[in-house]
């Protein structure tokens, strides 16, 4: 994600680190890209106006940084079968002890109003997110 400071950061959930936010600069400097066979960049096709960037930054800095960073990586079988989400509010983030990669991104998109709130974030897989946007 590219925020207002023009620096690119990566929000991810991995087996080794769990949920992290890393600057692209550190990602390259630390050679973390060597951990991956392939890295795919997917641009979110949306008007990135000042309001959108402010909403994204607020969401990341307030909710996600405090409530999600440091959580583990896991694909929870119970959540995989949970098709609908009646309450996917930021307070529920505290209850999740883990996230898998696309579940984490879907949670952000839902809070930004880009995905339906009723469908559980665990129902979105990397291939699903491509077809949504």
- Tokens in use for 128? 């699903």
Q: What is the pLDDT of residue 82?
A: 65
Rounded CA separation 53/101 (Å): 21
Cα angle 5, 11, 106; round to 5? 115
Which residue do the tokens 């990341």 mark?
60
Is the pTM value of this prediction over 0.75? Answer: no
Q: Give per-residue pLDDT as tens, 39-66.
A: 777 777 888 888 888 888 888 777 777 7
Is the per-residue pLDDT at 33 higher than 80? yes
Is the per-residue pLDDT at 90 higher than 60? no
Give the long-range contacts of residues 121-128, CB within 8 A, separation 24 or more. Answer: 121/85, 121/88, 122/76, 122/79, 122/80, 122/82, 123/82, 123/83, 126/101, 126/102, 128/102
């Amino acid at each position: 994600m590219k925020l207002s400071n023009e620096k690119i950061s990566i929000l991810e959930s991995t087996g080794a680190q769990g949920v992290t936010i890393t600057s692209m600069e550190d990602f390259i400097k630390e050679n973390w890209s060597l951990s991956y066979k392939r890295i795919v960049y997917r641009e979110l096709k949306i008007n990135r106006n000042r309001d959108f960037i402010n909403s994204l930054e607020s969401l990341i800095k307030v909710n996600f940084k405090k409530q999600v960073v440091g959580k583990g990586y896991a694909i929870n079988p119970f959540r995989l079968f949970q098709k609908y989400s009646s309450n996917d509010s930021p307070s529920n983030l505290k209850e999740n002890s883990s996230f898998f990669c696309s579940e984490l991104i879907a949670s952000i998109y839902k809070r930004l109003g880009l995905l339906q709130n009723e469908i559980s974030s665990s129902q979105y897989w990397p291939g699903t997110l491509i077809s949504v946007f």
